Amino acid sequence: VQKGNFALIIFMTALLTAVILLFGNKKFVDLLSRLLQKLGGKKKIIRLNLSVNWIQILLISYSLQFFIDGTVLYFLSQNATNISVVLYPLFIAIFTIAWLAGFITIFAPSGLGVQEVTLAALLSVYIPFAVASLIAIVFRLLLLISEILLISIIFIKDRKFKNI
């Protein structure tokens, strides 16, 4: 791993740890809640119905999701072209940025199209745009299939527990 990439990995790990620790502090969560209330102009106090431990679990879960999905994106790209392992952390960041772009998009359900275009544009810095576009589409299909499988498993398990 190159020195610059190693420093980036250390920085991102420290940043993630700091965020998890901050959201583990009840005073910080209450302060953030009051700040959101003031920014939103609501008279009602915003209360999170999640305990501090649940917020940490959610942050760790989403971080794990980004790590796994970024890993899948890297290996999918590795199969399509010859990419250095040095770029592996960058592919996790590329997925995260594309996911965020899709998440904040108002006009497209689930960021459909926006996430793929962002992913293809960011990947095209390292691989040809045509290949990056194909990878983005295949990756979105893989995400869709995995979500359908997970939802199916949840429904099957839920039905089994209801019949008991």
**What single-letter amino acid sits at 58?**
L
Cα 162 to the center of its chain, rounded Å = 32
Q: Tens-of-pLDDT digits for all 164 residues of the chain? A: 455 556 666 666 677 677 767 777 778 777 877 777 777 665 555 555 666 677 778 788 888 888 999 999 999 999 889 888 888 888 998 998 898 888 888 787 777 789 999 999 999 999 999 999 999 999 999 988 988 998 888 888 877 766 65
3-class SS letters over 70-134: HHHHHHHHHHHCCCCHHHHHHHHHHHHHHHHHHHHCCCCHHHCCHHHHHHHHHHCCCCCHHHHHH
